[in-house]
Structure 1
Amino acid sequence: MLFDDKKNVDRLVYGLYALCALLFLADFFYKKKYYISAENFPGFYALYGFFACVVLVLCAKVLRRFLMRDEGFYAPQDTESEDHPDHDLGKESHYD
């Protein structure tokens, strides 16, 4: 596949970085219609999106402390957590 090679993935990521930089720079060269004065600031939407993303990640880290459960919380009686004899797991020797 195309993206199985790390070099191709790196090219894609660098291409996206370049595209973001070009779009950010393009924001300086055209006149915008704005409704609030902050929108007139060059790169406002890029910065707004970046900081919104940072806030989401920080909120998720805080919420993780409240929402995280033990490994066996949802299925304490699950068969994966039970001890099985080796013959049930297919680990017995067939050379007896």
Structure 2
Amino acid sequence: MEERMRMILPDRDMERMTVDNEIVTVNVHGLSLNAMIRLLKNISVICMGTFTLRIIHGFNHGTKLKDAIRTEGLFLRSYKIVPDQTNPGVTMIVFA
């Protein structure tokens, strides 16, 4: 999964990510809403199969990003939104 992303995504996007087994963690702090949506949609298309996307959007100033992430219909493929119960600045999306 990580090799495939490295071939397609620019270095600046890869620097925001870590890949551990089937969990892709991406830090979207500092991105505009449109840039964040573009990055997350690209990741969802590049990563085939079942995986979890862990998005760090922040809590105080990341509410616009959080609201966009937690809106149904953002992705074309089947997924489930799971807010992190221990950290309000993180949202998990499980792709089927």
Would you say same fold, with TM above 0.5? Answer: no
| Higher relative contact order structure (alpha carbons within 8 Å, sequence separation ≥ 6) | 2
Normalization by structure 2: what TM-score? 0.20
Q: Which has the larger radius of gyration?
A: 1
Normalization by structure 1: what TM-score? 0.20
Report the structure, 1 or 2, having the larger strand content. 2
